[in-house]
Structure 1
Amino acid sequence: MTYATKWSVPNSSSMKYNIANIQSIYRTKRLIKIFAHFFCPTPLPMRDIVVLSGSSHPNLAKSICRHLTVEQGVLASKKFSNGETSIEIQDSVREKDVFIVQSGCGEVNDNFMELLIAIAACKTASARRVTAVLPLFPYSRQPDVPHAASLTGAPSLTVKKDQYTYESAPGTPKPLRDDTTDVFASTPPPLSLMTPSANSSTDLLSKATLNNLRIPTGGTSGKIPSLTPTAIVTNSAAVNIPSVDAYGRTESGYKQWVAQNGTLIANLLITAGADRCITMDLHDPQFQGFFNVPVDNLYSKPLLKRYIIDYIPDYQSCVIVSPDSGGAKRATSIADALGCSFALIHKERRAKITKTSPSASGSAQASPMVRHASASSVVGNSATMVATTMLVGEVKDRVCVLIDDLVDTSYTITRAAKLLKDQGAKKVYALVTHGIFSGDAPNRISKSAIDKVITTNSVPQVHTAAILGDKLEVLDVSRILAEAIRRIHNGESVSMLFDHGW
């Protein structure tokens, strides 16, 4: 009876209030759904997908699977006693979308061969599509000559930590050969015909190298020259071979031909059966042209830009610096997005000056252009090869942020930091996408003028973090890679990741 009395005759005013309240709640829920649909889209269920991990960076693959909320596939990699790689895929990949995560770090050749065998194994097991996920693409950046510390001045593992300072600079590479002992410097005298005799038979036999004629007279048997042409030089470049420095360049700047492995690596991946590739910050974006399959080159620019905004104090007044001319476009894009100033460091490794000319090391030109000599060595009697760096921009009493895509031996970035500190920079940050830190690079950075190094986990940073400690900060790129994998698997667009990240 109480229930009927309470609800049988409702008040008109309270009814209007309740209806308005319900409508308001409905509109609020509707707005929440619309907001969630556009800004927090619910990911589609991940079906028929397998994520496998190579031996180069298993932790990154685990993070990607955690973001995708899928179980990581089981891939067993073994090595025989002779070094050959054996791959066993212990999950079914038939008619599934397979993603193999393998970064180009560590033992690069072994890891790349492991990736090729894993791709071929998945295609043999009737996988619907195989995508190679290479956060750091191998062989996309190579020096002009093979790594040799004695030639290129790269840091050596034999240098002790307590004896190393960032003031140390390797000497400018010397020519690979000595012109004083050049066998082509002079034309050899022509051989003259000699009459065979008993006394000269031994000499004739030792000098006979031009034809197969034999002299039957005089009791002498063997090959002797019947005709010796006189050497006539018609091209001076054929005998006057210029000296070549450790970077394969002559004085005119011509660089000797060096094998570029971009086409070979692309053909190996395609031949193994890769249907698509995902990578991040290629050293040269034109590298994608070597492939006949789609290549998604993700950018770390949104991640680095967000770090600058959140963790660098007064970032509006900082200076974005490119350590070399090759990375100027990458640094200027971040500087334009943030509205910051830009500076450039230009390297001239083989600048030639005479002994009588004024030294470039002691002349610092007026700002914003400053020339700084980093190392020198005498070649010959009249010239000196000086490695100079030129700073274009104003950095005095300002925070500098070095932007680069890859740090290997860290020679370039440490010399750039020293030049910035010499010109009055207040603090130097180094933001790099791929921190390889090979050789003695961690020790070099720990003794350098860099205040903080920020890199990503596209390469394992466990050993580097143990040396640098608080000087190193690692950003996680697994969310970006996971979102790219999810969008590719569901047939969605990946273009938004280029500008907005994830």
Structure 2
Amino acid sequence: MRNTLIFAGNSCPALTGQICENLGMTPAKAELTQFSNGETSVRILTSVREKDVFVVQSGSPRINDSIMELLIMISACKGGSANKVTAVLPYFPYSRQSKKKSPRGAITARMLANLLGVAGVKHVVTVDLHASQMQGFFRCPVDNLHAEPIIAKWIKRNVPNWREAVVVSKNPGGTKRVTSLADALKLNFGLVTTDRRRGTNMTGSMIMNQLDGLERRPISESLAQSDSQQAASDKPAPPRARARTPVRNARIVTDSQGSPIRTSDLSSSATNLADPSTEDPSTTRRKSSAQLDSDYDDRRAQEVIHGRLIQGHIVEDDFPSPARSTAANSVHEDDPMTMSHASSFFAPDRQSLAGGANNNESSSDEEDNAFEDPKAEHMITLVGDVKNRTVFIVDDMIDKPGSWIAAAETVVKRGMAKKVYCIATHGVFGGDCLEQLQACECIDTIVVTNSFPINEERVKNSSKLVILDLSFLLAEAIRRNHYGESISPLFQHIGD
């Protein structure tokens, strides 16, 4: 391409070389050094006057050095009279800090967007932002590319019997990404969600019995009714004034469409249809209950599976809870579903000032931190049928192993899945994440892209790791941006 220069940062020189090779170019020359005190120094060794400049720099383990290199390179090219400077960031740094998580927190992603604008960037190209709303942080156009077509093509070519697989989200915040891939492959999808066990110091059965016997009415109405009943006890009520009230039944059944119906509603309707002069109301209720028991179908209930999670691993139901004290060991363990349902009446939902529970970053990062607590116990729920099927656990990045291992063990040990693929766009692999995923017996394959640089030694030691190439996607995006063409075709799924 004429009048075009592509500069490579120190974070991803190999990816930049592949991009230039696909475009039939060579990377432009620049000198990136550091002073003894850690300051970054940049020297552009090629004329950039009236050129269309692209600077390729991704996030890396040395994230702050990579950001300063990018900002200084953009400023140097802008000062060298470049016609237009485009920042190509396969992995956008600080993308997980796109909102305030506390009243005195900082929106760091917006601050970085402002820094790029001050440096002189006129266009940004990135891949799979952690929060797509981040595009509103910039005053320049942003092309948020997706790795989904590349992942879908790899699945079709390398996964046997992929048409029978199930796409699973490991947290509620990633359901949109999972459903998008499931729709592209025309597959079913599922959901794994975790919740810290609450109310271990109270007896769930006692609470539920009190709730079942309590009718939700205003206190004044209850007092008025009790006074009227006491006054009416002295004299009998006329026969026509006595109203029949159906017996309360807490069990919920479903109709043919799967909608919940209380047996009390059906029994009361059946009582109203019956002739009171010819049939006893209690007999009618017994008949309707027997009919409901014969028509009850628990197929939907079988698609929801629960399990216990201690220190990030699935345990048996009779495994001792680490949170119980010595005095509580003599008390019978309450049912986890009962305790969760009971505590929901007393403990409010965890909603912070920063946002709701549908946030992807809170549902992923906070879960991984909670799994590290040895005294915490979680209840994990799998929604969807994965028995004897291949499972694709999908998210935008892999940083910590806790939630991935928990989801994989759940679908295998509880859901009886046949094979598990952990798929993400950005393989950050913080700490020993890659090594733990490699050691997990429930995970068969780990699929990521080369948007984030991974140490070659770690790649060689991980036999489960598969790295997909983004160079063709980024090269085509650069070419289309240079010639002013639409990038919409890059979002389409092209069949084999």
TM above 0.5: yes
Gaps spanning 5+ residues in structure 1: where? 1-45, 146-247, 249-254, 360-364
Q: Taking CA–CA contacts closer than 8 Å with sequence separation of 6 or more, which of the two structures ends up with the larger relative contact order?
A: 2
Contact 2:98–2:109 (8 Å) recurs in 1: no
Residue aligning to 1:176: none
Residue aligning to 2:429: 437
Residue aligning to 1:378: 323
1:341 aligns to 2:198 (yes or no)? no
Contact 1:346–1:391 (8 Å) recurs in 2: yes
Q: 1:88-487 counterparts in 2 under 5 A?
A: 88-142=43-97, 257-348=104-195, 350-357=196-203, 367-375=302-310, 378=323, 386-423=377-414, 424-448=416-440, 449-461=442-454, 462-469=456-463, 471-487=464-480
Question: Residue 379 and residue 101 in structure 1: after superposition, are their counterparts in 2 closer, same or farther (change >3 A)?
Answer: farther
RMSD over aligned CA atoms reads 2.4
Could you say what secondary structure the match of 1:259 adopts? coil
Q: Which amino acid aligns with 1:495?
A: S
CA distance in 2, matches of 1:327, 1:463: 31
Compute the TM-score of the two structures, normalised by the length of structure 2. Answer: 0.65
Question: Residue 369 and residue 443 in structure 1: after superposition, are their counterparts in 2 closer, same or farther (change >3 A)?
Answer: same
Residue aligning to 1:3: none
Aligned residues: percent identity? 43
Contact 1:323–1:402 (8 Å) recurs in 2: yes
Question: Residue 428 and residue 143 in structure 1: after superposition, are their counterparts in 2 closer, same or farther (change >3 A)?
Answer: farther
Residues 21-59 of structure 1: per-residue CA shift (max 9 Å, x gap) = xxxxxxxxxxxxxxxxxxxxxxxxx10000000000100
Contact 1:353–1:386 (8 Å) recurs in 2: no
Compute the TM-score of the two structures, normalised by the length of structure 1. Answer: 0.65
Deviation at 1:464, TM superposition (A): 2.9
Residues 4-32 of structure 1: per-residue CA shift (max 9 Å, x gap) = xxxxxxxxxxxxxxxxxxxxxxxxxxxxx
Residues 204-229 of structure 1: per-residue CA shift (max 9 Å, x gap) = xxxxxxxxxxxxxxxxxxxxxxxxxx
CA distance in 2, matches of 1:468, 1:300: 22
Deviation at 1:409, TM superposition (A): 1.4
Residues 96-149 of structure 1: per-residue CA shift (max 9 Å, x gap) = 00000000122000100110000000000000000000000000014999xxxx
Contact 1:429–1:452 (8 Å) recurs in 2: yes
CA distance in 1, matches of 2:422, 2:86: 32
Normalized per residue, the structure richer in helix is 2
Q: Which amino acid aligns with 2:458?
A: T
Deviation at 1:369, TM superposition (A): 1.1
Aligned length: 342
CA distance in 1, matches of 2:63, 2:20: 24
Question: Residue 144 and residue 374 in structure 1: after superposition, are their counterparts in 2 closer, same or farther (change >3 A)?
Answer: farther
Q: Which amino acid aligns with 2:125?
A: I
Rg (Cα) greater in structure: 1
CA distance in 1, matches of 2:37, 2:453: 27
Residue aligning to 1:30: none
Deviation at 1:378, TM superposition (A): 3.4
Deviation at 1:366, TM superposition (A): 5.2
Deviation at 1:488, TM superposition (A): 0.1
Question: Residue 144 and residue 491 in structure 1: after superposition, are their counterparts in 2 closer, same or farther (change >3 A)?
Answer: closer
Residue aligning to 1:185: none
Contact 2:98–2:108 (8 Å) recurs in 1: no
Question: Residue 263 and residue 143 in structure 1: after superposition, are their counterparts in 2 closer, same or farther (change >3 A)?
Answer: closer
CA distance in 2, matches of 1:143, 1:276: 19
CA distance in 1, matches of 2:429, 2:106: 24
Deviation at 1:467, TM superposition (A): 2.3
CA distance in 2, matches of 1:260, 1:347: 27
